[in-house]
Amino acid sequence: MKIRHISPQSNIRARIGGGVTLATWLAASTWAQSNRVVVYSKPELPVVTFAVYIPEKLDTMQEQYSTGDSRPQIVRGILESALLHSGYKLVNFALSESGAPSSALDALKKARELGVDYLIIGQATASQISGSGSAIGVKVAGPSAHSQSGSSAALGGAIAEPMRSSAEVSVQVVRVSDGSILLAEEASSTGSAESQNRAGQGALHEAADLLASKLLSSLSLKLKDD
């Protein structure tokens, strides 16, 4: 803890404006000590290593898929970035010789092999809740017609209602050594865009941001007692 003291001399002269007797000096010194400015340094974090395994599922009317290595891992990426910026060490399964895990149980097994202290496992799902747009953008309703004389009729059409999706993300922090659950957190959000995919991805992104904030706040307290 770093402590910055307010100068007793400057406070004495400001308060009495003149010569300083010993009694006044002692009184002023006591006042300065009781009114000191305290600056707390950043608390030291335990040197621990994390790994993250959170499959993502995006449900739409046109398609249903689970994100794999070929698709961006939105939630995992945000949590990994938050952990790194907070000073924790991180292991990326995909970059290890054992490769990406196929299940939560497989992730726990590989985490032990890689010397990981804590494994964050969970699931992330985004589902459509409203909207009439298409998966590729907007949908235009109404035909365009031309008369036999060559004149054009008015085009009938309207931009589709934006797609809206909801996302739910839940995780558990597991102690790799014995498989016990250290803590659990969850978050949810909604997103809107011109396509279902973008709406779902936006909802997942916002939910992941909320989750990262809650998770790191809880971790700093839990790891001190673990």
pLDDT of 226 over the 70 cut: yes
| Spatial separation of the C-alpha atoms in residues 17 and 28, rounded to whole Å | 13
Q: How far is the C-alpha of 217 from the C-alpha of 104, rounded, in Å?
A: 24
State the Rg of the chain over Cα.
Answer: 29
Residue-level pLDDT at 62: 47
pLDDT greater than 60 at residue 156: no
Domain extents in the chain: 49-139+158-225
Q: How far is it, in rounded angstroms, from Cα 204 to Cα 74?
A: 7
Fold of 49-139+158-225: Rossmann fold (3.40.50)
Is the pLDDT at 30 greater than 60, yes or no?
Answer: no
- Distances in Å between the Cα of 21 and the Cα atoms of 13, 14, 182, 217 are 11, 15, 60, 50
Average pLDDT over residues 110-115: 94
- The values of phi and psi at residue 96, to 5°, are -90, 165
Distances 12 to 20, 22, 37, 186 between C-alpha atoms, Å: 8, 12, 17, 54
pTM for this entry = 0.64
Residues in the chain: 226
Give the confidence band of 85 by pLDDT, cuts at 50, 70, 90. very high
Model confidence at 189: pLDDT above 80: yes
- Comparing CA positions, the residue from 175, 183, 176 lying closest to residue 215 is 183
- DSSP helix/strand/coil, 6: coil
Of the two residues 40 and 31, the one the predictor is more confident about is: 31
DSSP letter at 134 equals B
Closest CA to 206 of 74, 66, 23: 74
Other Cβ atoms less than 10 A from the Cβ of 194: the count is 19
What pLDDT was estimated at residue 96? 85
Contact at 8 Å (CB) between 137 and 162?
A: no
What is the residue whose two structure tokens read 């990426």?
Answer: 77
- Split at pLDDT 50, 70, 90, the class of 206 is very high
